[in-house]
Structure 1
Amino acid sequence: MDMNDVKTRGLVLLGCGKMGSAMLAGWLRGGLPPEAVWVIDPKPSDWLQAQGVNLNAGLPPSPAILLVAVKPQMMDDALGAAEIDARTLVVSVAAGTLLARFEATFGADTPVVRAMPNTPAAVGRGITALIGNAAANDDHLALAEALLSAVGQTVRLESESQMDAVTAVSGSGPAYVFHLIETLAAAGEAEGLSPELAMQLARATVGGAGQLAEDADETPGQLRINVTSPNGTTQAALEVLMDAESGFPALLRRAVHAAAERSRELGRG
């Protein structure tokens, strides 16, 4: 199975919210014909209606791909609308929904890939972790990677149990960074900056530092050292932020653990 097979047999997208729309936009930019895509979404956006895809129409009986992008509470209704067989690859980006859930619906011989993308997918800068069930071979995983690379990087996991940690680090992680921007701007206001200037400085600083961390050969630790002059302003701040009990290390460890535990709870239903 490859992208030519997808063009011939079709791709069904269940749910086209922000993540589904980001993926669909990436596929269409990459050359997937709109007529090869079927989308089921109860409240299609104006953007979606203008894409020329098969929208809320009768589905092909055995599509190459069934991509599930609905919220977990809508899963039963969404899956009930799909007609697939063992030739269809099921790809799920639904948080907290285990591989076993899809095997119970479609059978253990159906190849299933579970994926966890994150919101920077909206600007093509996401990262998606993938894990397949026993029926998913390397070709299936490669096809899922090809689809999800339309919105950023992909990585393969060794076991499904790692998905909870991935959810806590990269899935929920953008929210931590957004909150950092909020609080950095608020701290700037407290030191006398206008709200507008503080926010502009915070946004550009976090965005630029993230790009530098991704592009540079040095590790983030070395980049931190590079901008920390002995007894300077950065060192004064880092002594607060790197405090073993009240700084970032302990705080983020607790935050990521809380998110991972919640992911495990959702997976248990």
Structure 2
Amino acid sequence: MGSALLAGLAAGAGGAKVLVLEPSPSPDAERICRENGFELRASASTQDAPADVLLLAVKPQALDAAAPAIAPLVGSKTLLVSILAGKRIADLAVRLPAGAFVRAMPNTPASIGRGVSGAYASEQTSAEQRAIAQTLLSAGGAVEWVDDEKLIDAVTAVSGSGPAYVFYLAECLAAAGVAAGLPEELSMRLARATVSGAGELMRRSEQTAPAVLRENVTSPGGTTAAALGVLMADDGMRPLLQRAVEAARRRAGELSG
């Protein structure tokens, strides 16, 4: 996720000085930093001045190990923007006492500028700092603010983890095509194009409800109606996704502390 947001940030850094701390950078992260003039280091130094804005993008389980390496960059005026799933602002403040906090959850399409982030700002966050966070996060796509920090766990479960659900849908659709007799590579091409094309159509039809788009494809008594009869059954897709989202939301809560 950090690399995905870094790629989005590269398009909108606007000449700001960017320092990336990563002890084991991926090839993508190294390339992004090299191509955009971002400084890449393994850790902060006591000689570093506190950052105006610090984007924290480590695994939630790695927070305790990462906090001491990041601490030199945190000061009383630092805005800390965290994309750690489950970690509350209270969890962060104990380890990294910044001046203000924004807890956010982007998703991996941020790497192509088509992501969406849910965000919550602490009471100490000024309007100017919130605007900075908006600019930072919008480098990867849309930003939606919530007024209750607890809702970030639900955002994580819907849009943060959501791309994986869509990718799995493509996997399952391709596998179903193979079961119906299609060659494997052809079925995967059809599934990928269908999922990406439907997503783009929904994006361009922003004022049209997804239900209307679905109905537009569905002829009474036709093939789509037959398939939807299975997907929309009482034990079909809706309750399955509700259970999946609830499992993700619950897990986010378990990662706090």
TM-score, L = length of structure 1:
0.86
1:234 aligns with 2:224: yes
Say if 2:101 and 2:125, in contact at 8 Å, map to a contact too.
yes
Q: d(CA) in 2 for partners of 1:177 and 1:29?
A: 26
Identity of aligned residues (%): 49
1:66 aligns with 2:54: yes
Give a deviation string over 1:101-120, Cα, whole Å, max 9, x none.
1222344x720001101111
Q: d(CA) in 2 for partners of 1:169 and 1:23?
A: 18
Task: Identify the residue that residue 155 of structure 1 maps to in structure 2.
Answer: 144
Structure 2 alignment gaps of length 5 or more: none
Deviation at 1:64, TM superposition (A): 0.8
Deviation at 1:26, TM superposition (A): 2.8
Distance change in 2, residues 1:190/1:106 (3 Å): closer
Task: Identify the residue that residue 4 of structure 2 maps to in structure 1.
Answer: 22
Task: Identify the residue that residue 40 of structure 1 maps to in structure 2.
Answer: 21
SS of residue matched to 1:50 = helix
Deviation at 1:132, TM superposition (A): 1.3
Say if 2:8 and 2:110, in contact at 8 Å, map to a contact too.
no
Say if 1:27 and 1:147, in contact at 8 Å, map to a contact too.
yes
Say if 1:103 and 1:110, in contact at 8 Å, map to a contact too.
no
Task: Identify the residue that residue 77 of structure 2 maps to in structure 1.
Answer: 87
1:118 alignment partner AA: N
Q: 1:225 aligns with which of 206, 215, 224?
A: 215
Deviation at 1:49, TM superposition (A): 5.6
Q: d(CA) in 1 for partners of 2:3 and 2:176?
A: 35
SS of residue matched to 1:212 = helix
Q: d(CA) in 2 for partners of 1:76 and 1:254?
A: 31
Deviation at 1:33, TM superposition (A): 3.2
1:32 alignment partner AA: G
Deviation at 1:166, TM superposition (A): 0.8
SS of residue matched to 1:181 = helix
TM-score, L = length of structure 2:
0.90
Matches within 5 A, 1:164-243: 164-216=153-205, 217-243=207-233
Say if 1:69 and 1:92, in contact at 8 Å, map to a contact too.
yes
